[in-house]
Amino acid sequence: MSKKRGKRGVMLIKLDLEKAYDKLDWDFVHTVLIQCGFSSPFTEWIKACIKVEEIKLLLNGSIVGKFSPERGLRQGDPLSPTLYILATEVLSRFLIEKENQGHIKGFKLARNGTPITHLMFADDVILFGQATVREARGFMDCLTQYCNYSGQSINLQKSTVFFSKGVPSRKAQEIADLLGMGRMNRQATHLGLPLFRSVRRTDDTQPLVERVLKRIQGWKMKMLSSAGKTCLIKAVGSSISNYVASSDEQGLWSQLMKEKYFKTPNFLDLDAKPTDTILWKAILRACEELKKGICRRIGYGQTTFIWFDPWVSGTDRQPSPRVLSVEGVSLVSTLIQNNQWNSDMIMQWFQEEDARKILNISLPSSPTHDSWLWLPETSGKFSVKSAYRVLKNHDPSSETERKWKIIWGTSIHNRLKMMWWKILSNFLPTKDKLSSFIALPDTKCPLCDAENENTFHLFWECNFARITWLGSRWELRPDTFHLQSWEEWLLWFSKGENKPLSLDINHLLEGAAVILEHIWRERNKRIHEGRSTPAELFTRTINSRLGEMNALRDAPIGLQTEWKPPPLGWISCSTDVSIGNTQSTGEIVLRDHTGTILKIITFQTNCSEVLPGETHAVCKRAEAVIQMGYNNVIFQCDSTRVVEALNPHHIDILSMHFNIQELARNFSFLAGKLNLCEVQWIPRDCNGVAHAVARWANRNNRFGTFDLSNFDDFLQHVAADGRVDL
């Protein structure tokens, strides 16, 4: 508004409603509920909740008077904000009516943009309009009418008005006198945020910093644990920042930005202009970086250009032509026939690697508009977290990123994750760490008094730590591993052949964190309490904790070790996919309740990646069993990701990998045509028939429907458990 030019100028009115909740009339609330479509007995229940029949006045414990109130909503009542918002909707409709009658013009960000007349958040109200006496009277008429109906009143002493450039001083004063309000200063705030941009950008974000600090200043009194503080940071910090930056795609902010800045339909084609705001220029600068992560999602391909748009996932998202002449073809829709890729044309026009990536793109089963994918997320949905990583050039494959993925991806207690985070971040207050801040007379390890105390020495190289690891149930000898840092330790023990007792990563990190915690407590006990624990008792305590954890994790889970036939009246449908250098093959094996192979179906697929290939194979067998007339089917697959995605109880398709979302929708549709169906995971060893047949079909280029007698001798001697020795 400060940059608004023109003959008239605009004004902004910030209202202060006096005792907003306390003055709201009960009969008015009841009337509003009825007008909004609510009926009895609901409206009577609400009235009973907010109404108070009588209030008695006490003086020194004695009743000295009483009265019957008629208005007021209780502060802190979860019902009060909703009722208040419904009541203020009346004021909003008064303002809209005045706008429709032409008495209020509002404020436009663009010449042909949407006019804004008011913004409301509970009892915080801002009005926008042309700086004219007529418009000021229109606002006052609405406010007076609303206050008369609702019992509310405007605190004119605290309400203020701001005028943009171009408004003469005399007219501004006349309007302010008519409104009965003072002029707004540049330090005014709304919902805790500054209304005007200051000279220093750091001042604009200071209210956000102050609000976060205000929330956390009581943490010491609450005595929260590290894990508790972590949860509190996530809850408080993210909610406040998201509130400041939140904007719905179809919301008012997005609509206004499009009207003001979108001179072309494509946001990616916009260029910054000298007259743009600092915020918009920053958005466009970030857009240039975020282009690295976007890619077209192909629907029917009629709005995506082959040679100019990014539409093939990978490092270079614009494919390179193999031929010099492309006969004027420019749209991706040219490469699609009957909702399938024209593989011959693609192999002819594009380089081999690009052709494989194109053929791997899943197409929708019905015509769909082209849209956008966000490649840093497997689901294709944009997230602030992944965008931050793109802007900071975080490499997901780097050693630093890998260690955090290992730690935060494990299913162990948050307290133990925090212990690992402190160690890997060198956050623990060891003597070596503290010596960089304060002068310490001694930085030797308190457990061995031989070397400087840092985390790697304290927990791994120290003689006390070596005895602890050797005496543990794992019987590790730290001096035989020749590791120099915790990063090396983590990467070394993450490899399957290096894990003690064949532990999985969850067992390993959970047990190691228990050992690290006990060593840290023993260290603190010796420094701060002057006491020590006997080595035998210390080791026994650790082994007891490790035993308890192993007992919980080693509970039987019924892991399948052999293929089992389906129940009577069902058929099993197992599949696999074989991906070769030049082609890929999917395979379906149908068996009855006796384990007898009924049919084997092989087919060629364009998928060159395992996940979409396996998913496509399951969809193909669903089509096949429906055509054959089967009703009760168990679909078996050795990919846990495919089974999870196609599980009938999985309803959030948009959270899946973007390249299998359409396949999952198609499978859900096909599964609905069956009487009963189940998607089941089986180990790779129990899926030997499907695996062997897929390789056989890919190697011999054999596709179609076969009986067992059609195959080589090695497939006619399949074991009953489904295993095949290859």
Residue 693 lies in a domain: yes
Residue 197 to residues 50, 106, 118, 193, 277: CA-CA distances in angstroms?
A: 41, 22, 20, 10, 11
By mean pLDDT, which of 283-297, 339-353, 552-566 is the weakest?
A: 552-566
pLDDT at 124 over 50: yes
Rounded Cα distance, 90 and 250, in Å: 24
Look up the CATH number of the domain holding residue 32: 3.30.70
Token pair in block for residue 212: 């976060």
By mean pLDDT, which of 125-134, 240-249, 444-453, 665-674 is the weakest?
A: 240-249
- What is the separation, in whole angstroms, between the first and last Cα of the chain? 75
Structural contact between residues 192 and 211, judged by C-beta atoms closer than 8 angstroms: yes
By mean pLDDT, which of 210-219, 439-448, 636-645 is the weakest?
A: 210-219
Token pair in block for residue 128: 């926008």
Residue where a domain stops, chosen among 392, 426, 447: 392
Residue 538 lies in a domain: yes
**Greater confidence, 398 or 700?**
700
Token pair in block for residue 697: 């079909």
β-pairing, 340-341 with 182-183?
unpaired
Same domain? 519 vs 587: no
Grade residue 248 by pLDDT with cuts at 50, 70 and 90.
low
Q: What percent of the chain shows pLDDT beyond 70?
A: 88
Residue 565 lies in a domain: no
Same domain? 35 vs 134: yes
Residue 282 lies in a domain: yes
pLDDT at 389 over 90: no
Of 366, 365, 361, 387, the closest CA to residue 376 belongs to: 387
Residue 214 lies in a domain: yes
Residue 560 lies in a domain: no
Same domain? 275 vs 375: no
Q: Which pLDDT score is estimated for 726?
A: 38
Q: Which pLDDT score is estimated for 557?
A: 45
| Per-residue pLDDT tens digits for 531-567 | 999 988 999 999 998 888 877 655 444 455 677 889 9
**Greater confidence, 249 or 167?**
167
Mean pLDDT of 4-25: 83
Element (H, E) at 126: strand 124-130
| Per-residue pLDDT tens digits for 358-373 | 888 888 877 788 999 9
Token pair in block for residue 670: 């096909």
Burial degree of 57 (CB within 10 A; 0-12, 13-18, 19+): exposed
| Per-residue pLDDT tens digits for 602-634 | 888 877 788 888 888 888 888 888 988 899 999
Mean pLDDT of 202-229: 68
**Greater confidence, 161 or 255?**
161
Token pair in block for residue 721: 């458990």
Rounded Cα distance, 707 and 715, in Å: 11
Instruction: Give the strand order in the sheet containing 118-121.
Output: 118-121, 124-130, 10-16, 160-163, 182-183
Q: Which pLDDT score is estimated for 234?
A: 65
Same domain? 284 vs 303: no
For residues 329, 333, 337, 338, the Cα torsion angle rounded to the nearest 10 degrees is: -160
Q: Which pLDDT score is estimated for 411?
A: 85
- What is the span of the domain harbouring residue 298? 293-392
pLDDT at 327 over 80: no
Residue 521 lies in a domain: yes
Mean pLDDT of the chain: 83
Q: Which pLDDT score is estimated for 692?
A: 81
Token pair in block for residue 271: 């260029």
Residue where a domain stops, chosen among 366, 392, 418: 392
Rounded Cα distance, 299 and 302, in Å: 8
Residue by residue, what is the 3-state secondary structure of 386-409?
Answer: HHHHHHCCCCCCCHHHHHHHHHHC
**H-only helix segments in 151-200:** 169-179
pLDDT at 123 over 70: yes
Burial degree of 156 (CB within 10 A; 0-12, 13-18, 19+): middle
Token pair in block for residue 603: 């087919």
Same domain? 241 vs 264: no
Mean pLDDT of 408-416: 86
Same domain? 45 vs 158: yes
Same domain? 176 vs 103: yes
Rounded Cα distance, 482 and 541, in Å: 27
By mean pLDDT, which of 17-26, 498-507, 669-678 is the weakest?
A: 498-507
Residue 271 lies in a domain: yes
| Per-residue pLDDT tens digits for 566-603 | 999 899 988 888 887 767 888 788 888 888 888 888 88
By mean pLDDT, which of 237-241, 303-307, 425-429 is the weakest?
A: 237-241
Same domain? 32 vs 112: yes
Bridge partners, residue 706, by sequence: 600
pLDDT at 442 over 50: yes
pLDDT at 518 over 90: yes
Same domain? 226 vs 321: no
Rounded Cα distance, 310 and 297, in Å: 10
pLDDT at 173 over 70: yes
pLDDT at 709 over 70: no
Bridge partners, residue 331, by sequence: 305
Mean pLDDT of 397-402: 74
What residues have CB less than 8 Å from 184, skipping those under 6 apart? 12, 14, 160, 161, 162, 195
Same domain? 406 vs 486: yes
Task: Tell me if the bond preceding 207 is cis, omega within 30° of 0.
Answer: no
User: Structural domain tally of the chain?
Assistant: 6
Query: What are the two backbone dihedrals, phi and then psi, of residue 123, each rounded to the nearest 5 degrees?
Result: -95, 10
Mean pLDDT of 112-141: 89
Same domain? 53 vs 174: yes
pLDDT at 724 over 50: no
Of 495, 456, 494, 497, the closest CA to residue 478 belongs to: 456
Grade residue 723 by pLDDT with cuts at 50, 70 and 90.
very low
Q: Which pLDDT score is estimated for 423?
A: 93
Q: Which pLDDT score is estimated for 214?
A: 74
Structural contact between residues 361 and 336, judged by C-beta atoms closer than 8 angstroms: no
Give pTM, 2 decimals: 0.66
Q: Which pLDDT score is estimated for 524?
A: 93
| Per-residue pLDDT tens digits for 24-58 | 999 999 999 999 889 888 999 988 888 887 888 88
Structural contact between residues 20 and 123, judged by C-beta atoms closer than 8 angstroms: yes
Grade residue 439 by pLDDT with cuts at 50, 70 and 90.
confident
Same domain? 625 vs 585: yes
